[in-house]
Amino acid sequence: MKQDTKVVTAGRHPELFHGAVNPPVYHASTILFETMAEFESRKPGPGTMFYGRHGTPTTFALEEAIAILEGGAAQCTLYPSGLASCTAVLLAFLEAQSHLLVADCVYGPTRRFCDRVLTRFGVEVTYFDPAIGGAIETMFKANTKAVFLESPGSLTFEIQDVPEIAAVARRHGAVTILDNTWATPLFFKSLEKGVDVSVQAATKYIVGHSDAMLGVATSNADAAETMRRGALEIGFCAGPDDVYLAQRGLRTMAVRMRRHQETATELATWLARRPEVSRVLYPALPGDPGHALWRRDFTGASGLFGVILKPASTPAVAAMLDGLELFGMGASWGGFESLITPTHPERSRSATLWRPEGPSLRIHAGLEDVDDLKKDLDAGFTRLRTAA
Ligand SMILES: *Cc1c(COP(=O)(O)O)cnc(C)c1O
């Protein structure tokens, strides 16, 4: 079955729900048992109703769908946010005195969790250059338990050599965890590339409409039990309405992703030629430092990319952004609408220097008409030049 068909069919069981196309929203904490014998022999596990926190048919449907899209993975678990999926997976695989290797370009809140929470529990965290590739071997220690990747990186969009790094990690008995939010399993098959646990902020492209918070993590057979127990033991479960919105959003994700890619590619190409722009950070563009790895490992690019402007004053950038009509300004991305924000990647690096030559922006290309988006940005550049 082709991927687009799987996006539509995976995890759907209308026969279980009186023929309804989508699973109903189960609001449940208590699950009742008929007899003492049934209650006492209950076995919590994936797919079984036991207690609300352990899942319902609403959550099982989404877990099954994501596991299929991630390439028939052993286990998918849901979390109340994307950040919760990152933190719970890290907690599940680490213990006091463990050593953790983290790409220097990871999502800011993931980094803060490593620095402020994991270190309090005696985990040693080392950041590495996202371009390190197989040379990561020299950073492994006897107690290295996990490697955390995010490819491309948040804000700076460096592609990592995931297969190479995962192969080294495996040789050293460490798990590889990848934040796959940008590409989604539609454009990057984490587990096939050697990753043990693939995490996504479903808040972004899976939900796709900027109206729910949700995280998902999917693992291969070896990591399945540790990952699932890690989520249960910490008490994480996702709200039924948000899970419903995610499975609803998922059904149109393949179509949306293609359009996000098309518009982002056109905007990125157009921006790269603008006199006000120094560089565009989008691995799908030929000439991007990550382009060769992106072509080798990915089957597409999503709608999120970075722009570094030529030197400009803060008031000039503010004049550009404040007057935009179609680009909203706000955290998150992956919805149907275009967004733009100023970014400051240089504030959260330690293994590598990030010295942008001008102000940094992050753009999410939404589903609007690309010519309208260009007009909006063009007017923004006029304000930038006039204010400068
Ligand atoms: C947004 C994001 C997260 C966190 O997701 P939330 O649902 O906002 O908690 C994690 N990783 C990446 C790469 C993200 O962009």
Q: 333 alpha carbon to ligand 1 midpoint, in Å? A: 9
Q: Which two tokens stand for residue 18?
A: 């009186």
Predicted pLDDT of residue 74: 84
Relative to the CA of 86, which ligand 1 atom is closest? 10
**For residue 365, what are the CA distances in angstroms to 4, 234, 268, 280, 333?**
21, 36, 9, 14, 9
Give the E-state strand segments of 32-167 in sequence order: 75-79, 99-103, 124-128, 144-150
Residue of 204, 279, 362, 383 with catalytic role: 204
Predicted pLDDT of residue 47: 78
Q: How far apart are CA 168 and CA 132, in angstroms?
A: 12
Maximum Cα–Cα distance for the chain, whole Å? 78
**Has 107 been annotated as catalytic?**
yes
Q: 154 alpha carbon to ligand 1 midpoint, in Å? A: 9
Q: Which residues sit with their C-beta closer than 6 Å to ligand 1?
A: 81-83, 86, 107, 150, 154, 179, 181, 201, 203-204, 213, 215, 332
CATH 3.30.460.80 applies to domain 3-250: no
Q: 359 alpha carbon to ligand 1 midpoint, in Å? A: 23
**Has 204 been annotated as catalytic?**
yes
Q: Which of 81, 83, 89, 333, when mutated, tests ligand 1's pocket best, judged by the most ligand atoms within 8 Å of its CB?
A: 83
Predicted pLDDT of residue 306: 98
Predicted pLDDT of residue 195: 98
Q: 200 alpha carbon to ligand 1 midpoint, in Å? A: 7
Tell me which residue of 382, 372, 158 sits closest to 263, measured CA to CA: 372
Q: What residue ranges of the chain have pLDDT lower than 50?
A: none
Note if the pTM is more than 0.95.
yes
Residue of 104, 179, 242, 297 with catalytic role: 179
Contact of 8 with 251, CB cutoff 8 Å: yes
**Has 229 been annotated as catalytic?**
no
Q: Which of 90, 112, 150, 154, when mutated, tests ligand 1's pocket best, judged by the most ligand atoms within 8 Å of its CB?
A: 154
- Residues in CB range of 189: below 8 A, 6 or more apart: 70, 71
Residue of 79, 107, 127, 205 with catalytic role: 107
Contact of 73 with 216, CB cutoff 8 Å: no
Residue of 6, 26, 51, 53 with catalytic role: 53
Q: 201 alpha carbon to ligand 1 midpoint, in Å? A: 5
Contact of 316 with 387, CB cutoff 8 Å: yes
Classify 6 as helix, strand or coil: helix
Q: How far apart are CA 290 and CA 133, in angstroms?
A: 12
Give the E-state strand segments of the chain in sequence order: 75-79, 99-103, 124-128, 144-150, 175-179, 197-201, 215-219, 277-281, 304-309, 339-343, 360-364
Tell me which residue of 237, 144, 134 sits closest to 194, measured CA to CA: 134
Relative to the CA of 84, which ligand 1 atom is closest? 9
Relative to the CA of 182, which ligand 1 atom is closest? 13
**Has 282 been annotated as catalytic?**
no
Crossing angle (nearest 10°) for helices 82-93 and 221-234: 110
Relative to the CA of 83, which ligand 1 atom is closest? 9
Q: How far apart are CA 52 and CA 27, in angstroms?
A: 8
Overall CATH class of domain 255-387: alpha beta
Equal CATH topology for 3-250 and 255-387: no
Q: How far apart are CA 383 and CA 379, in angstroms?
A: 6
Please state the domain extents for the chain: 3-250, 255-387
Q: 48 alpha carbon to ligand 1 midpoint, in Å? A: 29
Q: How far apart are CA 98 and CA 96, in angstroms?
A: 6
